[in-house]
Each structure stands twice: as structure tokens, then as C-alpha cells.
Amino acid sequence: MKTGLIFGCFDFLHIGHINILKRCKQNCDKLIVGVCNDKHIIDRKQKQPLNNENDRLEIIKSLKYVDDAFLVYGDLIDYKDFIIDNIDILFAGDDHKDEKQFIMLNKETIFFPYTKGISTTQLREKIKG
């Protein structure tokens, strides 16, 4: 049985999120999702998430492609021991291809292209009008 892991913010869930989770699940038997906590999003993106971390976690857990999910309090490398012991394959968007943490973890990694024409940032702008 192959276990996969993807980390993400998953704020304001949209078709791009569904597409990447579906692709992840097609490449593993068990998909675990790390949902970034609010502080991590604020620190990295300098934006307040639209949905709080507990709501985002529950939304992700409810999706049919997701077998398990947990809140993340850091980067992938902060979960090195968990990944080494429990994960067979890592997944990420292709905008993360050059991040050294994937090389340092030395795990099979698949980078998926983003769904064109959709992002949480674009949706935020549409809502603002």
C-alpha cells in the first residue's frame, strides 16, 4: 500500500484544489493532507485566511479523495521523521519544484501543474469586485 502526502492552505476551496487532490489520490492508495495552520499562512503569504484552520481541516477531511488530514505547524522538513517513517510519495504544485526541502527529504515526489484560471487570490479579487 502506497501512502502519499500533500501540504497546502486549502483556503476557499476551489476546483484547482479538487483537481490536485484527485491527481494525488490517483497516484497512491492512501492520501494524507497536511492543512497549514492560520499562523503559517499569515507568516508565509501575509494574508489572513478566509476560513479558519479548523474549518479548513474539516472541509478537507470531508473530501472523498482524502483518507486522513491534520493541521500543519511548519514546512515539510519540520515533519521529516513522520515523512521518512510513514510516507512513500510526496505531492506538490509545480510552483514548489525548486524548494530544497523536497531534495533533502529524498522521497519520490510528483509535482502537478496548477489548474489554469483559478486561484484563491483570483477568487478574493472577484469577491472584492
CATH number at residue 57: 3.40.50.620
Q: What pLDDT, on a 0 to 100 scale, did the predictor assign at position 64?
A: 98
11 is in which domain, residue-wise? 3-128
Is 27 exposed, middle or buried (CB count within 10 Å of its CB: 0-12, 13-18, 19+)?
A: middle
Kindly report the length of the chain.
129
Name the pLDDT band for 114 (thresholds 50, 70, 90): confident
Contact 30, 68 (CB under 8 A): yes
Catalytic residues: 45, 47
CA atoms of 56 and 61, how far apart (whole Å): 9
Q: How many domains does the chain have?
A: 1
CA atoms of 44 and 63, how far apart (whole Å): 25
39-93 pLDDT, tens digit per residue, is 999 998 888 898 999 999 999 999 999 999 999 999 999 999 999 999 999 999 9
28-51 pLDDT, tens digit per residue, is 999 999 999 999 999 988 888 989
> 81: which 3 cell numbers?
521523521
